Copies of this chain bind each other. A is one copy, B any other.
Amino acid sequence: MSTEDNLLKLVEVETPDDQDYLLQEQVGFILRKAHQRHVSIFAAHIGDLTPPQFAALAKLRDVGETSQNQLGTLIAMDAATVKGVIDRLKARGLVELSKHEVDKRRLLVNLTAEGRDAIERLIPLAREITQETLAPLSAKEIATFMKLLAKLA
């Protein structure tokens, strides 16, 4: 290999050609597709609730009554988004709202009896959703993948 060839190769390594950019190989693009697939699997198992709605119910079950904002933090939703989700759950009678006695800014959210029934009933289906989402991977691959995915989230 000539000196010029080596120089060319060096340049190539440090400033990749635009031809090299393949959308289908970028993390962001594949991440978006993987998420889409999961949402689709979710909808096939749980038709009458969205993943964010489910997340709100599941988290309320874990922590009990909290403020709307705090719930948003726990399920990674900003204030504007969580409001819409809670509004819809309230309209369906799955959660109830009340005012914080001391701090009048806070809007407390809690499961209703019906909401509690719903989330208990749905958790087994959620397990299936997780399983089906991970079905293309072996048990060992799942462990590896979850560890790395967690680092990126």
Chain A contact residues, CB within 8 Å of chain B: 16, 18, 21-23, 25-39, 42, 51, 55, 58-59, 62, 75-76, 120, 123-124, 126-127, 129-130, 133-134, 136-137, 141, 144-146, 148-153
Task: Assess whether B21 is in contact with A123, with CB atoms less than 8 Å apart.
Answer: yes
Can you list 8 contacts pairing A with B, beta carbon distance less than 8 Å?
Answer: A18-B120, A27-B38, A28-B133, A31-B149, A34-B149, A37-B153, A145-B145, A145-B148
Task: Assess whether A27 is in contact with B149, with CB atoms less than 8 Å apart.
Answer: yes
Given the contacts A28-B42, A32-B51, A76-B36, A21 and B146 also touching, CB distance less than 8 Å: no
Contacts of A129 in B (CB 8 A): 28
Contacts of A25 in B (CB 8 A): 146
Q: Which of these, B42, B58, B133, contacts A23 with CB under 8 Å?
A: B58
Distance of A5 from chain B, by nearest CB (Å): 24
Contacts of A149 in B (CB 8 A): 27, 30-31, 34, 145, 149
